[in-house]
Amino acid sequence: MGALYLWLSGMPAAQMAQSISVLGSGIILAIIVLFVAVGALRRINVYEAFVDGAKEGFGVAVQIIPYLVAMLAAISVFRSSGCMDYLVQAVGAGVRALGLDDQFVPALPVGLMKTMSGSGARGLMVDVLKTYGVDSFEGRLASIIQGSTETTFYVLAVYFGSVGIKKTRHALGCALTADAVGLVGAIAVGYAFYG
């Protein structure tokens, strides 16, 4: 690992990006070849096993469609109604009233949206990067937040929906608590490194 790091760190940025891309593609190809080789050694018909898995995956996808549609509709209502903007403005006003630095507030929608939709959060992160710049505190913080929390509602809808669980009990509360801790931790890391 250390030799790989030393080899890559001595390259110009463009060549390093190309080398990492080729290396990543090679690793993915090697994993696929490894699966096929292990299947062949164990005398498993890999193609039939793949087709059976695809059939099962399609059945699960059809089963979870109602849960996904409900979740996507809720996300759309939350954003379109302006609730996200009101919530962010309220947090900003509260932070300013306490006399604290509110520089993190423009990146906050990324963390709020991430609990509902990864692609929605990615879109908001790109908006922050375009508005404030890639090297700005807000842009860096939005990027940190993007990797610090989980798409909780999506995960609960998909996984609980796929096995037919309708009462999630404490899973939602625990997951949202973990997301809140991740968001606060991301903001703390942002201030520690870039603030």
At 178 the pLDDT is 93
Both 173 and 81 in one domain: the answer is yes
At 79 the pLDDT is 75
Q: Count Cβ atoms below 10 Å from residue 40 Cβ, excluding itself.
A: 11
3-state SS assignment for residue 81: coil
In a domain, 169, yes or no: yes
Both 37 and 82 in one domain: the answer is no
Both 30 and 110 in one domain: the answer is no
In a domain, 49, yes or no: no
| Span 147-181, pLDDT tens digits | 888 888 888 877 887 777 878 788 889 999 999 99
Q: 126 and 132 in contact (C-beta within 8 Å)?
A: no
Both 28 and 63 in one domain: the answer is no
- The pLDDT tens digits along the chain (195 residues) read 677 777 777 778 778 778 888 888 999 999 999 998 998 899 888 888 888 888 887 877 777 777 777 777 877 787 788 888 888 889 889 989 999 888 999 999 898 888 888 888 888 899 899 999 989 999 999 999 998 888 888 888 778 877 778 787 888 899 999 999 999 999 999 999 887
At 157 the pLDDT is 78
At 1 the pLDDT is 66
Rounded Cα distance between 104 and 102, Å, is 5
In a domain, 51, yes or no: no
Closest to 136 in 3D by CA, of 159, 167, 104, 112: 104
In a domain, 165, yes or no: yes
Rounded Cα distance between 174 and 168, Å, is 11
What is the number of domains present in the chain? 2
At 188 the pLDDT is 93
Helix (H) or strand (E) holding 132: helix 118-132
Both 33 and 61 in one domain: the answer is no
In a domain, 83, yes or no: yes
